Amino acid sequence: MASNEFTVPAQYEDLTPAPNVDKKTLNRMVWRSYWLQSSFNYETMQSGGWLFAMVPGLEKVHTNKNDLAASMYHNLDFINTHPFLVTFVMGIVLSLEQNKVDTQTIRSVRISAASPLGGIGDALFWLTLVPITAGITSNMAIEGNIIAPLIFLIVFHAALFACRFGLMNWAYKMGTSAIDSLTSNMQAFTRAAAIMGCFVVGALTVNMGGTQINLNIPNGTTRSVAAHTVVVSNEEAENFADLAIDTEEAEAGTLGMTDMDGAALKAADADGNEVECGIVDLGNGMSSVTYGEVTESPVSFSVASTLDTVMPKIVPLALVLLLYFLFAKKNFTPIKGIVLMLIIGILGALPLNEWLGITWWTGLW
């Protein structure tokens, strides 16, 4: 029984090179490339969207219907590349189709050109362009600039349009030599882009990372003597003269003029300046009395201040490194990372001081 499966010939029937494809057709192919992943599937990945984008060019170079059918059929082969750089591969393949190269060569070149673009595109867009533009415009938005999101979209899509249209025309003119031009410095370019991405992530961690461990742990109390000045009659002033106290043993709120040895107390006024307690006769039957009051203030250990002395922004850095470890070593997905950060944020913000009476807990963050 005969098989109905289409067999792609090794050569096209019409081997005459086709005329150059006009710029209008190339632009149509670029616009169609935006639909690359519209029919994404797990068997051939982006093949449906790829063929949809290639059809205008294939119809121009293959006037023979059998050749067009063969070309469309093998252009439905498996392909998976970076959607922003796909026009680079399209330009090369269209150049080969125009020159009626054998179908196996076209298939091989399509795969070999498409595969490396995933890493290059990620380094160029997701690790460099997006973090830089998003970081800058996010700061603008936080400061109240309402056009910041629009600026991000304009910059991002301007770069995207430039890559799509520029790569399409350049790759089509260069043909297979474009692969050598791109891949010759691919490793150095990818490394440079990755380093740039690391710098950007580090800068964003410092500028945008506001997470801090806001724990103030009780650590005893400190005693001091606060100075107060009043104007009273000379008779009333005499009542202050005998106020002698032991500042180390007296309860908070105790008033005094001298210590137990009779020496005038040293106290701090409202501005923090040291003054000496005593009575000054104003000469009109009134006296200015400066006396001291024992005060006791709680002392707490600030975790945030201590960590800042070790390294500012150490908590945001630790969270970034935690996510990096989970992504790189534990196969965490971005969704899991987001959920983890959400859980940590919620737990750290719980008002345990209200629920459980933990007075020193004011929330981690």
- Residue 163, pLDDT > 70, answer yes
Q: Which comes out higher in pLDDT, residue 220 or 106?
A: 106
- Residue 353, pLDDT > 70, answer no
Considering the chain, what percentage of its residues have pLDDT values greater than 70? 89
- Residue 183, pLDDT > 80, answer no
Give tens-digit pLDDT for 230-262.
999 988 888 888 888 888 888 888 888 888 888
Token representation of residue 189 = 């370019």
Give tens-digit pLDDT for 310-320.
888 888 888 88
Residue 219: count other Cβ atoms within 10 Å of its Cβ: 12
In angstroms, what CA-CA distances link 285 with 232, 233, 234? 9, 6, 6
Q: Which comes out higher in pLDDT, residue 199 or 240?
A: 240
The residues, any chain, with a CB within 8 Å of residue 175's CB and separated by 6 or more, are: 92, 95, 96, 99
Considering the chain, what percentage of its residues have pLDDT values greater than 90? 29
Q: What is the structure's pLDDT at 1?
A: 41
| pTM exceeds 0.75 for this model | no
Spatial separation of the C-alpha atoms in residues 356 and 193, rounded to whole Å: 50
Give tens-digit pLDDT for 110-151.
887 887 787 788 878 887 888 888 888 988 998 899 999 999
